[in-house]
Amino acid sequence: MAKYSAPSISILIKVGESDLSALFDISLSSLLLVADEVRKMAPNALIIAGGYPCTHFVADIIAHNPAIDAICLGEGEIPFAELVGADDKREYLNTSPYFVTKTHTGTTKGFVCDINDVPRLNYDGYIAKYGDDVIREYVNILSGGKGAYGSEGIMMTSRGCPFHCVFCAAHSIHGRNMRYLSMERVKAEVDYWIDNYNVTAINIIDDHLLGDVARLIEIIDYIAGKGRNVVFANTFAVAPVTKEFVDCLARNGINDVQLALESGSARVLREIMRKPLTLRKTDEVLAMFKGTDIFVKISLLVGFPDETIDDIKEALDYLRKAEYHWATISNLIPISGSEAYKQIIEDTGIEYKMDTANVFAADYANPETVEYMLGDIKYTMNLDINFVHNGLMRAGKYEMAANRFESVIKSVPDHAFAYYYLAKCYEKIGVNYDNEYAEYKRIIGNSDFWSRYAAHFGLER
Ligand code: B12
Ligand code: SF4
């Protein structure tokens, strides 16, 4: 038996059987390609698929992809266990409420009421076969604030999220009620990673870790108490953040945190995104991080069809003053299973560019807003709030800001604004900045792109 895994598609192949899983819409075309290839290699194999896009586009996939025998709806543990236990697997698939085949349409999504019933994922065979490299990651080292290569154990300690953010699809498989692993089970999983693989960090991938703040504090204290870092794959909802939680991060040397603000416009948060969050609450939460060494990142989402120029102005007005250190900005992808998909794709009949859907493409943004933001809402906002109105510089943290700009230059060597603001930071901390300023001047002299942005923001030229 061979198990392969890639960021977006995982395949379990054994002779006579093949199970394909696609996590993201963008993985679907790869999954279908793999199914075709598996079919050629093993004409009699039973090929079944599952995951978000398979559940949402089930009828279409079954109708147009003869290589796939059946698709599982929703959570797969119970349907899969039933399939494995069935004497006649094809007969089971053609009668099960959880599966759709060419001749049978199940309509029930699989759902595990108590996730403690699902055994811990067993990574042993996988790591034994492919080596420790599969868990090697660039991680922060506890309290040191520096990054280095280490290893990461992955855990998901809960499923579900009660909120209704329009751009999110998580509820379509995992529902809106929180289901938690017991604390005993969580600690046993942490111990598994540490005792067997001596991991440097535990990466927790839950959607809504702050569903129970006291529980999360206990988990972080436990992991950090064992001298391991805690990494959070997902952003934190802002509203449930408490002072006790921030204190827990600080005492355990957690270096950075990413908060899901999503927009600096109150109207966009409330009327477009349906986020359970106000800007006043955001200010209260951001204030809790003051006086700690925690690097506070916020994530923002732009590019909704109904996001107007006034919304962007309101957002920028807020984001130029709020007390965070860096923002990551994405363009909306109307992913299947989300309310945004229904509003933007289903209700209008326009095409969903699934294969090319990514956070860099503003395929669904309001054209007037795009034009107002010089043709690229995300990038212009990035320059505005991460450079021109950089939060670290506003807070007088010039050395930290300089580090940030230096690392931008490492990845984007001709970033005029990074050189310009690095020069400004050096000036503040008393370091010679002639080279950085000269580099800025050289880049804007050679590039229409940068010279246009420099003019737009009124930078020296
Ligand atoms: C961890 C995670 C990531 C990790 C992925 C790491 C990895 N490769 O494993 C990272 C951080 C990299 C990531 C990135 C992104 N993610 Co993400 N991610 C998640 C998250 C939080 C957990 C996934 C998970 O492991 N779930 C746990 C397992 C148990 O659940 P599951 O995957 O749904 O599988 C169950 C069923 O679907 C079913 N099933 C699945 N496959 C199969 C196969 C068979 C044969 C059967 C029978 C059943 C079955 O059974 C499983 C067990 O119950 C989910 C949200 C969520 N709660 O699922 C979002 C989620 C999958 N991500 C999402 C998105 C959009 C993205 C990004 C595009 C975001 C972005 N803007 O860039 C990127 C894409 C990255 C890329 N490759 O291009 C969306 C996808 C929705 C969609 N329709 O496409 C989700 C649902 C989040 C959301 N808010 O809507 N993500
Ligand atoms: S985006 Fe996060 S907070 Fe919003 S519904 Fe999805 S999981 Fe919940």
Per-residue pLDDT reduced to its tens digit, 345-386? 999 999 998 888 999 999 999 999 999 999 999 999 999 999
What's the CA-to-centroid distance between 205 and ligand 1, angstroms? 10
Compute the distance from residue 341 Cα to the ligand 2 centre, in Å. Answer: 15
Contact between residue 94 and residue 103 where contact means Cβ atoms under 8 Å apart: yes
In this predicted structure, the answer to whether residue 1 has a pLDDT above a threshold of 50 is no
Q: For 40-96, what is each residue's pLDDT tens digit?
A: 999 999 999 999 999 999 999 999 999 999 999 999 999 999 999 999 999 999 999
pLDDT-based confidence at residue 16 (cuts at 50, 70, 90): low
What is the Cα–Cα distance from 445 to 422, expressed in whole angstroms?
18
Residue 264: CB atoms within 10 A of its CB come to 25
> Which ligand places an atom closest to the C-alpha of 301?
1
**What's the mean pLDDT when you consider all of the chain?**
93
> What is d(CA 322, CA 73) in angstroms, rounded to the nearest whole number?
43
Name which of 302, 447, 310 is nearest 381 in CA terms.
302
Instruction: Tell me the mean pLDDT in the region 261-281.
Output: 97
pTM for the predicted model, two decimal places:
0.94
Q: Is residue 165 within 8 Å of residue 148, measured between CB atoms?
A: no
Rounded to 5 degrees, φ, ψ at 358 are -155, 165
Distance from Cα 217 to the centre of ligand 1, integer Å: 25
Residue 46's pLDDT is: 94
- In the reported structure, the alpha carbon of residue 275 is separated from the centroid of ligand 2 by a whole-number distance in angstroms of 8
Least distant ligand from the CA of 239: 2
156, 158, 161, 164: residue to mutate for ligand 2 pocket, most atoms within 8 A of CB: 161
On whether the CB atoms of residues 357 and 25 are closer than 8 A, the answer is yes
- What integer pLDDT is reported at residue 141 of this predicted model? 55
Dist. CA 382–CA 360, nearest whole Å: 12
> What confidence tier does 127 reach under pLDDT thresholds 50, 70, 90?
very high
β-pairing, 158-159 vs 179-180, is: antiparallel
Q: Tell me which residue of 341, 318, 201 sits closest to 269, measured CA to CA.
A: 318
Distances (CA, A) of 253 to 82, 134, 217, 286, 295: 45, 26, 13, 18, 11
Q: What is the pLDDT of residue 145?
A: 52
Ligand at shortest distance from the CA of 72: 1
Atom of ligand 1 nearest to the CA of 75: 53
Q: Which ligand is nearest to the CA of 159?
A: 1
Tens-digit pLDDT profile for residues 279-333 = 999 999 999 999 999 999 999 999 999 999 999 999 999 999 999 999 999 999 9
Distance CA 223, CA 142 (A): 11
Ligand number with the minimum distance to the CA of 338: 1
Crossing angle, helix 398-411 and helix 416-429, to 10 degrees?
150
- Residue from 18, 21, 23, 52 to probe ligand 1 pocket by mutation (most atoms less than 8 Å from CB): 23
Who's near 347: CB < 8 A, 6+ residues apart?
none
Mean pLDDT to the nearest integer, 428-447: 98
H or E stretch at 295: strand 295-302
Which alpha helices (H) appear in 148-269, and where do they start and end? Answer: 170-174, 183-197, 213-225, 243-251, 266-267
Length of the chain: 461
- Encoding tokens for residue 420? 């310009």
pLDDT at residue 4 greater than cutoff 50: no
**Ligand 1 centre from 170 Cα, in Å?**
8
Do 38 and 27 form a contact (C-beta atoms < 8 A)? no
Using the mean position of ligand 1's atoms as its centre, give its distance from the Cα of residue 25 in Å: 9
Give pLDDT tens digits for 173-201. 999 999 999 999 999 999 999 999 999 99
Q: What confidence category does residue 276 fall into, taking pLDDT thresholds of 50, 70 and 90?
A: confident
Q: Which residues line ligand 1 (CB under 6 A)?
A: 7-8, 19, 21, 23-26, 48-53, 72, 75-77, 79-80, 156, 168-170, 173-174, 205, 207, 233-234, 330, 333, 335-337, 359
Nearest to 147 by CA among 61, 256, 43: 256
Percent of the chain clearing pLDDT 90 (strictly above): 88
User: Best of 3, 24, 55, 208 to mutate for ligand 1, by most ligand atoms within 8 A of CB?
Assistant: 24
Q: What is the pLDDT of residue 134?
A: 87
User: Residue 250 burial (CB < 10 Å; 0-12/13-18/19+)?
Assistant: middle
Give pLDDT, residue 149: 78
For ligand 2, atom 6, which residue shows the shortest CA distance?
168
Position 459 pLDDT exceeds 90? yes
Select from 396, 366, 372 the least CA-distant residue to 384: 372
Mean pLDDT of 94-104: 98
Alpha carbon of 53 to ligand 1 centroid (Å): 10
194-232 confidence digits (pLDDT tens): 999 999 999 999 999 999 999 999 999 999 999 999 999
Structure confidence at residue 132 as a pLDDT band (50, 70, 90)? confident
> How confident is residue 15, by pLDDT bands cut at 50, 70 and 90?
very low
Say yes or no to pLDDT of 11 above 90: no
